[in-house]
Structure 1
Amino acid sequence: MTQTLVLVFHPDLSRSHANAALASAAGTVNGVTVIDMTATRTDGGVSFPDADAQAAMLMAADRIVLQFPLQWYSTPPLLKAWQDAILTRMVYLVPEEEGRHLRGKPLMLAVTAGNKASAYRPGGANLMPLTDLLAPLWATANRCGLVMDAPFFLYEADRLTPAEREAAAADYATALERWISATTPAGV
């Protein structure tokens, strides 16, 4: 069985509604492991003294999902710090030992946004599509040799009713199942 790793970069998943619901739904999908990355920080900060374990986890995974809330048109600080520490290490510092294991590996983004979808278009409140705002992650994936697939977006995440959150979580689980069945892990 292949392994799909969902790394959740929410600043406080215990206080989240949408990201918590998505993470919970992802955990029901066969072959998926969900990790609350904030909960793994024993010092409460954004350092990564467990870089060996982080790299090993990525190398062992067949697929990777980065799940996070959009914050000021970007990723949460922990995700950026993780990219700086872990991906820099793997791709630039030890590319043959670690970075090469990322090449060809499928990557998906699961992003929650507070505004409505129509706000993310030319002329909308946020001036551009959400996919455009995530261009740095597409470039990062490319540089790492990861194969970026279509993202999962959840708009108005902080305004959803419990029933809407439940439906969105079910949609996410279905999207993950489809993505997993449609992608071939690197090296297979």
Structure 2
Amino acid sequence: MKTLILFAHTFWKDSKVNKALLESVKSLDDITIHNISTAYSDGNIDIPAEIELLSQADKIIFQFPLFWFSTPSLLKEWQDRILTAILYGENKDLLKGKKFQIITTLGGAESSYDGHHGVTLEELLKPIYHALKYCGCEYVEHYAIFQANVDNLDLNAYHNAIKLG
């Protein structure tokens, strides 16, 4: 299965956890890491190139740190531009049958996302999953790394999460 990790991070230069995660999978077979934070630091997304990357993938993973209960802004811009281009483009079924998963890192404890602040992590991620489901993707259980810190990273669990689906 060819997996595309579509990665975004508002503060990529200062990242420690996500850099370690991506470094740990960069040599694995059938995984393509696409860091849109570095590819599009100017915010100018190359729609045909993105569609080509998606066409080659069997599984698509959005990986990002959760900031203020949402994705980094560039990932939201990517969704707006690319999913709209697919929906109104020549190949509306481009994503049909592809697996879709979210992998996210969070600074807070798991208990911070249990709903006592008004919303659970699952509820926060629903809009992303619904958008990709609307485009034909199949849901794969998300993977969250709470209290993300390079000293407590379980790389085997991360690798296993990528292999789900």
Q: TM-score range by the shorter chain?
A: over 0.9
Give the C-alpha shift of residue 106 in structure 1. Answer: 0.1
Aligned to 1:186: none
Give the C-alpha shift of residue 17 in structure 1. Answer: 1.2
Within the candidate set 144, 151, 157, 1:163 is matched to: 151
Give the C-alpha shift of residue 64 in structure 1. Answer: 0.5
Give the C-alpha shift of residue 139 in structure 1. Answer: 1.2
Mapping 1:63-74, distance limit 5 Å: 63-74=59-70
Distance 1:13 1:174 in 2: 24
- Contact 1:8-1:23 at 8 Å conserved across structures: no
Aligned to 2:18: 19
Aligned to 2:86: 90
- Contact 1:6-1:33 at 8 Å conserved across structures: yes
Aligned to 2:52: 56
Distance 2:11 2:151 in 1: 22
Structure 1, residues 68-117: CA drift from partner, whole Å, max 9, x if none?
011111111000000011111111x21xx333120110001001111100
How large is the RMSD of aligned CA atoms in angstroms?
Answer: 1.5
Structure 1, residues 130-177: CA drift from partner, whole Å, max 9, x if none?
1111111121012111112100101112xx2x4313x2x332012213
Aligned to 1:174: 160
Q: Which consecutive aligned stretches of 4+ in structure 1 deviate over 4 angstroms post-superposition?
A: none
Within the candidate set 107, 117, 131, 2:122 is matched to: 131
Give the C-alpha shift of residue 13 in structure 1. Answer: 2.6
Distance 2:43 2:108 in 1: 27
Distance 2:6 2:61 in 1: 6
Aligned to 1:120: 113
- How many residue pairs were aligned? 165
Name stretches of at least 5 consecutive residues in structure 2 with no aligned partner: none
Mapping 1:31-50, distance limit 5 Å: 31-41=30-40, 44-48=41-45, 50=46
Distance 1:170 1:46 in 2: 33
Distance 2:19 2:71 in 1: 17
Aligned to 2:96: 103
In structure 2, do the counterparts of structure 1 residues 99 and 12 end up closer, same or farther at CA, with 3 Å as the change threshold?
A: farther
- Identity among equivalent positions (%) equals 30
Distance 2:80 2:115 in 1: 31
Point out the structure with max Rg over C-alpha.
1
Give the C-alpha shift of residue 32 in structure 1. Answer: 0.6
